[in-house]
């Protein structure tokens, strides 16, 4: 199979190689997926760069955890899927050497989920990490029907999913963005209100929108940086679900400010979800993708893809996402499967 890989951590242009390598055998409980597209996430960039001391865990790594394609082969004991099924996959490279940046991948069946015809392969490759993160951030504490949710960074991969899934779950959504183009993206996703944090006072706008009551829940991409906003807009007994804090990775917590309002600080790391939480997320995400309205009103999927690179352009794709230029998900097309 054709694949992209790296043998050491470092700059993309220096360490990423593209070529041919042998396919892996399919064992009991496993599935071979012939991939159409591989989704590139910030965590894939961080792993390749060794962010925050992450080790180079295997001699050769095929990057990327998310992807979409069709089932090509079933291992013994697999009954839930059939050859030819359209699927999306997640966590392919979590604690494993071979991810989705290749023409095929062999995975445990639980990492392979059905992809409805209404979702493109390009967007299917973007579902895994963003949707699982967004679901946990939104629903970890129960239903959100009737709540007001603030999504910080509403045009990002997780934020865009969170807007769609929050509306699917019956919530009202306020999203923050950094440009007019991203504001339009957030509105298309379903945000009821959009605030440009580069030009507007987020706290003042949120309190005006909520008539002084604040929000029930915050989906937070920049925890440390946005703590002053959190303290002003999160209502008593509210929840802040945090999945990143890159700009301030070691923030100082205002303990008594949180404690005296009985607010909940929830960490979200989708790679290590408890089994029941993971099963709930997978079930809901599949319903959401299919258009079913188990939690809220059925809504169309708003696909969120910025740019599609060829497999030979994997290093350029890494650099593009790492540059901050991407306005949506970055995808690597690894075959012509549709």
What local confidence, expressed as pLDDT, does residue 295 receive?
A: 63
Do 191 and 268 have their domain in common?
Answer: yes
Looking at the fold, whether 7 and 111 belong to one and the same domain comes out as yes
Q: How far apart are CA 218 and CA 90, in angstroms?
A: 25
Are 316 and 260 members of one domain?
Answer: no
Judge if 187 and 64 occupy the same domain: no
Judge if 34 and 158 occupy the same domain: no
The verdict on 223 and 98 lying in the same domain is no
Residue 21 resides in a domain: yes
State residue 86's pLDDT score. Answer: 98
- Please report, for the domain that includes residue 247, its CATH number: 3.40.50.720
Closest CA to 330 of 294, 311, 304: 304
Q: Who contacts 24 (Cβ-Cβ below 8 Å, separation ≥6)?
A: 32, 98, 106
pTM of the complete model: 0.94
319 occurs within a structural domain: yes
Are residues 93 and 180 both part of a single domain? no
pLDDT in tens, the chain (338 residues): 999 999 999 999 999 999 999 999 999 999 999 999 999 999 999 999 998 889 999 999 999 999 999 999 999 999 999 999 999 999 999 999 999 999 999 999 999 999 999 999 999 999 999 999 999 999 999 999 999 999 999 999 999 999 999 999 999 999 999 999 999 999 999 999 999 999 999 999 999 999 999 999 999 999 999 999 999 999 999 999 999 999 999 999 999 999 999 999 999 999 999 999 999 999 999 999 988 765 656 678 999 999 999 999 999 999 999 998 898 999 999 999 98
Q: What is the pLDDT of residue 300?
A: 82
**Is residue 30 located within the same domain as residue 155?**
no
Same domain, 169 and 267: yes
91 & 198 share domain = no
Query: What's the pLDDT at 130?
Result: 97
DSSP reduced 3-state for 307: strand
* Domain count along the chain: 2
Exposed/middle/buried for residue 220 (C-beta within 10 Å: 0-12, 13-18, 19+) = buried
3-state class (DSSP) for residue 207:
helix
Question: Would residue 299 count as lying in a domain?
Answer: no
Which structural domain range is residue 24 located in? 2-126+304-333
């Amino acid at each position: 199979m054709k694949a992209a890989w790296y043998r050491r951590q470092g700059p993309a242009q220096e360490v990423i190689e593209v070529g041919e390598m042998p396919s892996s055998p399919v064992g009991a409980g496993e599935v071979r997926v012939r991939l159409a597209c591989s989704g590139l996430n910030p965590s894939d960039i961080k792993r390749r760069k060794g962010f925050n001391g992450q080790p180079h865990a295997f001699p050769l790594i095929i990057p990327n955890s998310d992807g979409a394609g069709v089932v090509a082969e079933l291992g013994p004991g697999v009954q839930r899927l059939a050859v030819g099924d359209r699927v999306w996959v997640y966590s392919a490279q979590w604690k494993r050497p071979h991810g989705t940046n290749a023409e095929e991948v062999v995975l445990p069946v639980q990492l392979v989920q059905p992809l409805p015809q209404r979702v493109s392969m390009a967007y299917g490759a973007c579902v895994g990490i963003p949707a699982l993160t967004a679901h946990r951030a939104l629903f970890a504490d129960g239903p959100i029907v009737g709540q007001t949710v603030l999504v910080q960074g509403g045009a990002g991969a997780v934020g865009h999913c969170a807007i769609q899934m929050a509306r699917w779950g019956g919530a009202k959504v306020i999203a923050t963005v950094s440009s007019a183009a991203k504001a339009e993206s957030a509105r298309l996703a379903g945000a009821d209100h959009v605030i440009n944090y580069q030009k507007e006072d987020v706290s003042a706008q949120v309190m005006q929108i909520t008539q002084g009551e604040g929000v029930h829940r915050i989906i937070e991409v920049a925890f440390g940086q946005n703590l002053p906003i959190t303290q002003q807009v999160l209502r008593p007994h509210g929840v802040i679900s945090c999945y990143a804090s890159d700009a301030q990775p070691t923030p100082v917590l205002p303990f008594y400010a949180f404690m005296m309002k009985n607010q909940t600080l929830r960490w979200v790391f989708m790679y290590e979800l408890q089994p029941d939480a993971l099963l709930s997320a997978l079930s809901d995400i599949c319903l959401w993708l299919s258009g079913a309205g188990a939690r809220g009103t059925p809504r169309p999927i708003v696909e969120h893809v910025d740019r599609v690179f060829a497999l030979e352009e994997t290093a350029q794709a890494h650099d593009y996402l790492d540059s901050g230029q991407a306005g949506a998900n970055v995808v690597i097309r690894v075959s012509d499967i549709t």
